[in-house]
A and B are shown apart, each in its own frame.
Chain A
């Protein structure tokens, strides 16, 4: 339960819900809620900050825009879609949450998410840990050389970088090259065993996209475009995201 009762003052002044409805296909069905509560029963974020998906949607429907803007709850919803899955009306609550995140001034959004997005914008690597194109190449080549030297039977293991025309463009979560590079090797071995024609790209290798979680549309778009271009420039057929 919320600490204080929420007072509904006079006439509906809402624009938030209407704005979000305009943006979504079928208005995200946001006006179709039956208040059945299925979403709240099934949502793991129910109870955090005294809220749940149904309450959050009701707040929007009642025009409590200010309360929505002040709530931390949108940062606790993981946008997992379980509520949509169980909702008889297929109401898009995660999109409502996403737009509630956008109500926060960028500089007030959670520092960790913002920092990760900003890091990713620094290089075309798109790494949320700020590892550059050269950093990545260095780590991959270093780890590969070690495996070839020390592991019997893997003298010809490959971890291709920027290989034109490869079928699969593989990306990698930054945590592997940056904090636990040996964890990349099993993946290379699997690709080798199945005979996959694959490559990393120095550009766009970072798998994560915190700009999306930050609800920074422009930055999100930029990251996706850099990655897509990297795949296209190498002429790869498939973009394999390990996230």
Chain B
């Protein structure tokens, strides 16, 4: 946001997320938008090998997340997803980290059974679309 399209784009994403999860289920973190903190996974940090420093950097993000009390964090970028997921495990945050596409497809009722790796137990069984056994190739 801060580096590319700016806050107008952040508003668009909020609209999208609220449509999917419902206004009442959306909690913003503080601070937010262009004033938000980087999760600490960017700039090559995930691969740089300074894991302790990366997690210390990310502790701010972790505390922001915990302060929301939310049980799911939506991360549209894969890099952020990996970092925020790692922070949850390392600091035992107990929240789930999901890609935006997961939440969108879940809300539309089209998220297949194999596409739910990051959902928690509470949502894993929700709105599972119909499947059939694969037929053997003739």
A187–B102 CA distance with the chains assembled, in angstroms: 8
A60 to chain B, nearest CB (A): 18
Which among B2, B47, B112, B117 has the greatest number of chain A C-beta atoms within 10 A? B47
- Chain A CB within 8 A of B67 CB: no
Q: Is the CB of A175 within 8 A of B110?
A: no
B79 to chain A, nearest CB (A): 6
Set of chain B residues within 8 Å of A182, measured between Cβ atoms: 112, 114-115, 117
Interface size class of B (residues with CB under 8 A): 35 or more
Interface size class of A (residues with CB under 8 A): 35 or more
Set of chain B residues within 8 Å of A176, measured between Cβ atoms: 78
Q: Is the CB of A112 within 8 A of B48?
A: yes
Q: Is the CB of B133 within 8 A of A80?
A: no
Q: Is the CB of B77 within 8 A of A78?
A: no
Interface positions, chain A 162-178, Cβ under 8 Å from B, are: 173, 175-176
A49–B48 CA distance with the chains assembled, in angstroms: 15
Number of A-B residue pairs at CB separation under 8 A: 136
0/1 interface trace, chain A 160-201, chain B, CB 8 Å (1 if under): 000000000000010110001011011101100100000000
- Chain B CB within 8 A of A235 CB: no
A193 to chain B, nearest CB (A): 7
A183–B3 CA distance with the chains assembled, in angstroms: 26
Set of chain A residues within 8 Å of B46, measured between Cβ atoms: 112
Interface positions, chain A 204-226, Cβ under 8 Å from B, are: 207-208, 210, 213-214
Q: Is the CB of B134 within 8 A of A150?
A: yes
Our pick among B43, B76, B77, B132 for the contact of A80 (Cβ within 8 Å) is B43
Interface residues of chain A, those whose CB is within 8 Å of chain B, are 44-45, 47-49, 72, 75-82, 85, 110-113, 115-116, 146-147, 149-154, 173, 175-176, 180, 182-183, 185-187, 189-190, 193, 207-208, 210, 213-214, 242-243
A-B contact pairs, 7 of them (CB 8 A): A111-B49, A112-B47, A149-B132, A180-B117, A186-B111, A208-B79, A214-B44
